[in-house]
Structure 1
Amino acid sequence: MRNICVIGGSRYFGKHLVTLERDAGNHVTVINRGSTEPLPGTTTLVADRDDERQLRAALGTRTFDVVVDQICYTPRQAELARRVFAGRTGRYVMTSTMEVYDPATFATPPPGPAAAPLTEGHLDLAALPAARDTDGGADPATAYAEGKRRAEAVLLSDPEFDTVSVRTAHVLGGGGEDFTGRLAHYTERIAAGRPVDVHPDPRPTSFVHHREIARFLRWAAAGTFTGPVNAASHGALDVTGLSELIGAEAGVRPRYRTVAEGAASPFSFDRSYAMDNGRAARLGFDFSRVEDWLPGAAAESLAHLA
């Protein structure tokens, strides 16, 4: 039995991760603010992860085989976590995002072939600006991506423990698991015969099912590798490919309307930053294909509309 700590982990795919670990016979400790009911068979510590004194008090003398951090968004949070968990764990898995690659969120986009699937090495964390935290005046998408980039840089540079940053693709699930509401955006519009707003030349992006990313995080927590790793189902899709798969499930041919950049639907991008999942595959994770699970997720979303 392993001793697992999950920071966050009370909702969405974090809850799936906690359930997988618990059902495998591991002891799971969840750290959150106490706003949700704890899962049976787990231990909940109530603390604000931004309050170092409160977090240390809640942890007491506890140590863990691995910590999975679901809610690390800024370098300040990463620095605090590195201080608090130094000596408490030998492995730390941070849930990051594919948004770290988005060229639209860089002041100067990184060099490289923008149209190619992006490997982990495409982002040079050491080349990030040295500022301690993100610019509060930045737009939300840029602040989110830059916060994740710099949080990764803090944890991966001169680490106190073996560290992995999992760069997740866009997570999708149907029905009650559609935590962003983005899949519902498509199923509602397509089922009603309303047009999907797209860029003139939409570019592909990467996706992963909500249960697959939970399995991936559990696999990463049990591994021995370190560094950044991309997590995405096989098969990048642009907005029309996504819509066609949903339309086939709905029995409706999607309609499209070309719009200006700011008005496009979610997952319609005018730049490519689909991810290469080759590192994780070589390390032994068996990804699904997006075409295999997206119809089922769309069916769940369509049923949720009824």
Structure 2
Amino acid sequence: MKVLFLGGAGMIGSACADEAVASGLDVTVVTRTEPRRPPPPGVRTLRADVRESAALQEVLGDEEFDAVVNWVGFNPDDLRAHPEVFEGRIGQYVFISTCSVFARPVPQLPVTESTPRRQPVFGYPRGKIACEAFLEEAYRDSGLPLTVVRPAHVYDRTVVPVLAGWTAIERMRAGRPVVVHGDGTSLWTLMHSRDFARAFVPLLGNGHTVGESVNVVSGDILTWDQIHLELAAAAGVRRPLLRHRSSEDIGAVLPGWRDVLEHDFRHSMFFDTAKLRALVPGFAPAVSFAEGARELVAHHDKEPRLRAVDEGLDAAFDQLIEQTDSRPK
């Protein structure tokens, strides 16, 4: 099976390229610049800006593919030409969206593929919703063989899956408090990139997915306190000091966090995985967060340059810890 990745040189795309090659797929990756993560042996790499239809057509010629995966569509202008570029030459067009498109607060849990999509403020999911709407129209009007795939929160050994990143782990190791939004009990779902790839690759070339959307998520549910405690345990800290502050207070001190907390992380999110399990029989996550946390801490501990502390964030945490929650009691 011939598969074309538009982009896909980041954390999730690289894991999927590894899995695709291991599964015997013929993979071509198109990126604008040299990939930050070298593709696995056997992957063909081409250079073009996938948002430029003329450049894309030039590097692809008249080649046909069983599946095309768009990893880098963030607003409709990024992919507006794709229905025309790929007309009649592909079996499936997979758009990588995000589970952040679902309305917050979610009207009913668990989240399914039919949960309402709405985001009037937060730019990233707002752009993804617009992309989904554009491509769905192309599916209805011109027969674009569309599949929408929505990851939730994916991480690997290079990514500490909390907003404070490695700074939080350094503070815990130093016996200093770490700020957690809300009361730490809102529910969240994390998925290791290897598990995402194992669930994702079988969707390629699967005719049952055309015209459908699929949430590719783990069924593992954690609170934000549990996430921090697992990271602390992996870092060798038995009793980390967690301090809870409201999302509003954190956003006032760290404006760059305001939208993601207000419109995403503060809300409980867990998912019904029935559709994914029906399409990929037997799939179950293999990497627990405890294992993933140990892996990422070990990776960072081997590389001193990865363990840098964000001094501005460090000072902001100190400020938040010194102040009391300003919301009315």
Question: Is the TM-score greater than 0.5?
Answer: yes
**Corresponding residue number in structure 1 for 2:43:** 42
- Matched to 1:188, the amino acid is E
**Corresponding residue number in structure 2 for 1:192:** 174
Structure 2 segments unaligned to the other structure (5+ residues):
252-256, 303-329
Q: Deviations over 1:145-176 (max 9, x none)?
A: 011111112222341332211110101112x3
Aligned residues: 281
Shift in Å at residue 11 of structure 1?
2.9
Shift in Å at residue 239 of structure 1?
0.8
- Matched to 1:281, the amino acid is R
**Corresponding residue number in structure 1 for 2:116:** 123
- Matched to 1:184, the amino acid is W
- Matched to 1:31, the amino acid is V
**Corresponding residue number in structure 1 for 2:10:** 11
1:273-292 map, 5 Å: 273-285=269-281, 286-288=283-285, 292=287
Q: Deviations over 1:13-69 (max 9, x none)?
A: 211222222233322111111323554322222111121111111111011000111
The 10-residue stretch of structure 1 (79-88 or 64-73) with the greater mean CA deviation from structure 2: 79-88
**Corresponding residue number in structure 1 for 2:90:** 89
1:107-256 map, 5 Å: 112-113=107-108, 116-123=109-116, 142-159=122-139, 160-174=143-157, 176=158, 184-202=166-184, 203-226=186-209, 227-249=212-234, 250-256=236-242
* Aligned residues of 1:100 and 1:146 also touching (Cα < 8 A): yes
* Partner Cα distance (2:53, 2:31) in 1: 13
Q: 1:38 to 1:208 in 2, by over 3 A?
A: closer
Shift in Å at residue 182 of structure 1?
5.8
* Partner Cα distance (1:155, 1:94) in 2: 8
* Partner Cα distance (1:190, 1:224) in 2: 48
**Corresponding residue number in structure 2 for 1:23:** 22
The TM-score, its normalising length taken from structure 2, stands at: 0.76
**Corresponding residue number in structure 2 for 1:99:** 100
**Corresponding residue number in structure 2 for 1:271:** 267
* Partner Cα distance (1:181, 1:257) in 2: 15
* Aligned residues of 1:50 and 1:77 also touching (Cα < 8 A): yes
Q: Deviations over 1:100-147 (max 9, x none)?
A: 1152xxxxx77x23xx221111125xxx79xxxxx9xx6xxx111011
Q: 1:252 to 1:212 in 2, by over 3 A?
A: same
Shift in Å at residue 86 of structure 1?
1.6
Q: 1:299 to 1:284 in 2, by over 3 A?
A: same
* Aligned residues of 1:199 and 1:260 also touching (Cα < 8 A): yes
- Matched to 2:58, the amino acid is A
Q: Deviations over 1:184-229 (max 9, x none)?
A: 3443333333323123334112211011112222121142223111
Shift in Å at residue 181 of structure 1?
7.5
Q: Which has the larger radius of gyration?
A: 2
* Partner Cα distance (1:218, 1:146) in 2: 26
Identity of aligned residues (%): 28
